[in-house]
Structures are given as structure tokens and as C-alpha cells.
Amino acid sequence: SDSEDHVLKVILLGEHGVGKSSLARIFGGIEDSHEAEEAGNTYDRSIIVDGEEACLLVFDIWEQDDSHWLHNQCMKMGDAYIIVYSVTDKASFEKASELRIQLRRERQTEDIPIILVGNKSDLVRSREVSIEEGRACAVVFDCKFIETSAALHHNVKDLFEGIVRQIRLRKDSK
């Protein structure tokens, strides 16, 4: 249907503990700690970006189970991807690169929007990945980059608006 056509499916990827669910919950406007216990969730919300409404369906389901099926599904179904690592966890940064490579392999012929997100920027003293390393990685992997703090709600709005802009840019150039 027409309405389904402009719902943008956004998939969160990244290692356990990097802040995927925290970012998704902020997007969904849910701060309730009871719901926060759930392993996977989908958030449906409209936002205004540059004066135009966008309907986003954000999937926080990557860790719902460990099956190949789910992970394949995730790689196939997104209109856009948010690959999250924690700036306090080098291994999660390396995992983010792996995920980017996997995604490129899976969606070779498509130019899907991807934003690499370095979350937990508030944890200054336990930082293991610099902002320069994050930026450089995004250049290599040809995607956008932003650092966020879900704890401080810093840059979270910009992240989701950025995703919408990336999707629109590609649609307009077709």
C-alpha cells in the first residue's frame, strides 16, 4: 500500500552492550525500565525532518536470538542501517567493521544508507576508540559517522534525522 511504501525500515546492528536498545528506546520515546528488559523491540514513529514527515520503523532485533536466519533477515530487510559500537570498547569497533563488510556483501548492488555510530561518548575516561579512528573507519567503509551518548541523549535526534536525510538523498538521485 501507499502508506507502507514510505515507512522506512531502519535496522540497528552491533555487539552486545554498545547501546543499541538505549538508542532505540530514546527514539521510541520510551524510558520505562520494565520494557527495557526485553531482548528485542520495534519502534514505530514519525519525525519531521527538513519540514517533511518521515515514518520510521526502527528494529532493535539483532540480538533477539543467535540464529543465522534472523541475522540474514536483518541484512536483507533494511532500508537503512545503524551500526553501533562503543567508544569504550575496541572489540565492538572491530565488530562494526565486520558487520559493514557483511552488509556490503549481502547488498552488493544496492547503495543503502549506513551510519556508523560511536556511542557512549560521555565516558571520556574509559575511551578506547578516538573520534578520528571512528571518522577514518567511516571513510574507508563509505558511510556516515556520528558519535552519540544515549546516557546524555546527545546527538540521538541528529542520528535518526541523518538516516532520513541519507535515504532521501538516494531517492532523489534516482
**Using CB under 6 A as the criterion, which residues of the chain lie in contact with ligand GDP when the complex forms?**
14, 16-22, 119-120, 122-123, 149-151
Measured CA to CA, the distance from residue 13 to residue 149 in angstroms comes to 17
CB of 164 to ligand GDP, least distance (A): 21
Identify the residue whose cell numbers are 514519525: 46
CB of 106 to ligand GDP, least distance (A): 21
First to last CA, the chain: 21
Q: Which residues between 9 and 38 bind Mg ion (CB under 5 A)?
A: 20-21
Cα-trace Rg, the chain: 15
Q: Which residue is nearest to Mg ion (CB)?
A: 21
Nearer to ligand GDP, 55 or 151 (CB): 151
Measured CA to CA, the distance from residue 156 to residue 109 in angstroms comes to 29
Nearer to Mg ion, 61 or 167 (CB): 61
Report what 92 binds from Mg ion, ligand GDP, none; CB cut-off 5-8 Å by kind: none
Burial of 116 (0-12, 13-18, 19+ CB in 10 A): buried
Where along the sequence are the contacts to Mg ion (CB under 5 A)? 20-21
